[in-house]
Amino acid sequence: MQAQKQKDIKFSADHMLGRLSRWLRILGYDTDYPPPGPDKELIESAGTDNRILLTRDKTVAETKKARVIYIKSDRIEEQLMQLAEELSLELDANLKEEEDGSLVNRCGVCNGILKPLPAEAAKEKVPEGVKAHIDKYWQCAGCNKIYWEGSHWDQIKERIEKIKKSR
């Protein structure tokens, strides 16, 4: 079975899965993380929006109104591995650009689209040590957070490679 690309799949995560939702966004999966509220609303919004609902709640997992995956573990590594196995999910943390220069990867904070940001504009806002050797930046269209490929991103990639090797 071929690995499922980021574009083909969307998630909604329950309030127990904040960390997993951040990781999925960074990996490029459109992941909704609604504020805590009634289960019914969580299920309905996932269903209407055609999102796979990820939950740690066994009652929620029984719904027939949305596609659901019951997440078995509390550990992020095992959670990602479970999704990789059940959905043939592609776990690839590399930064990938669309044709318009936006990233496939999404903002971990708010799920926003990361748009290219001219270096001159970015360099007014990033730390000295970064602007000295980074010339390519993206900015979240949702929360304005600025991203670049650097040590933080290398750590994320390393983590993902480790998780994949443990499979």
Q: Is 54 helix (H, G, I), strand (E, B) or coil?
A: strand
Which residue in 91, 123, 142, 146 binds Zn ion (CB under 5 A)?
A: 142
Q: Does 141 bind Zn ion (CB under 5 A)?
A: no
Pick from 24, 66, 68, 107 the residue near Zn ion by CB under 5 A.
Answer: 107
Residue 140 contacts Zn ion per CB under 5 A: yes
Residue 120 in tokens: 């001159």
Binding to Zn ion by residue 113, rule CB under 5 A?
no
Edge-first strand order for the sheet with 10-13 is 30-32, 10-13, 52-55, 68-70
Interface pick for Zn ion out of 34, 47, 112, 116 (rule CB under 5 A): 112
Min separation Cβ 54 and Zn ion, Å: 20
Rounded Cα distance between 133 and 154, Å, is 15
Q: Of 94 and 144, which has the nearer Cβ to Zn ion? A: 144
Least Cβ distance, residue 147 to Zn ion (angstroms): 9
Instruction: Give the chain's radius of gyration (CA, Å).
Output: 17
Comparing CB distances to Zn ion, the nearer of 68 and 140 is 140
Size of the site for Zn ion (CB under 5 A): 8
Region of residue 106 (phi > 0: left; psi between -120 and 50: alpha; otherwise: beta): beta
| 143-162 footprint of Zn ion as x/- string (CB under 5 A) | x-x-----------------
Whichever of 3 and 121 has its CB closer to Zn ion, that residue is: 121
CA-CA distance, 66 to 44, in Å (whole number)? 7
Sheet with strand 137-140: strands edge to edge: 114-117, 137-140, 146-147
CB of 49 to Zn ion, least distance (A): 19
Contact 59, 39 (CB under 8 A): yes
> Site residues (CB under 5 A) for Zn ion?
107, 109-110, 112, 140, 142-143, 145
